[in-house]
Amino acid sequence: MIVYTMVSGANTVSNGPTVNMNDVSVRPVSSPLGVAQATITGVCTIKLQGRVHPDAGWVDVATFNVSGFSTVTVFPFMRWSVSAVNGGTADLYIAVNCS
């Protein structure tokens, strides 16, 4: 299992860069499920988003308004998106199994 830092210290409304999940390790992702964990201070909403193809639309995989974790589907392409900030910050991590 590897843990990938999607973002650390997000504090503005924005979308993160696209991450090809098969590029986060020298070994390909071997399971369609992973664990996302967010650490939020203050007021902040962060979403983990995924898509199956570079031309497909983004879908919300998990939304965090407070610190916590969630079992998530691992898409081939993923990103983070901050949709609300009022003096807060967010860190977002995803743990995936690799073959």
Provide the pLDDT for residue 2: 82
Provide the pLDDT for residue 53: 93
* Helix, strand or coil, per DSSP, at residue 86: strand
Question: In Å, what is the CA distance from 53 to each residue of 44, 67, 78?
Answer: 28, 29, 10
Task: Give average pLDDT by consecutive 10-residue segment, the chain, 99 residues.
Answer: 89 91 71 91 93 95 96 93 88 87
**How many domains, the chain?**
1
- Domain at 35, CATH number: 2.60.120
pTM of the model: 0.89
* Helix, strand or coil, per DSSP, at residue 21: helix
* pLDDT digit string, tens, across residues 41-58: 989 999 999 999 999 999
Owning domain of residue 91: 2-98
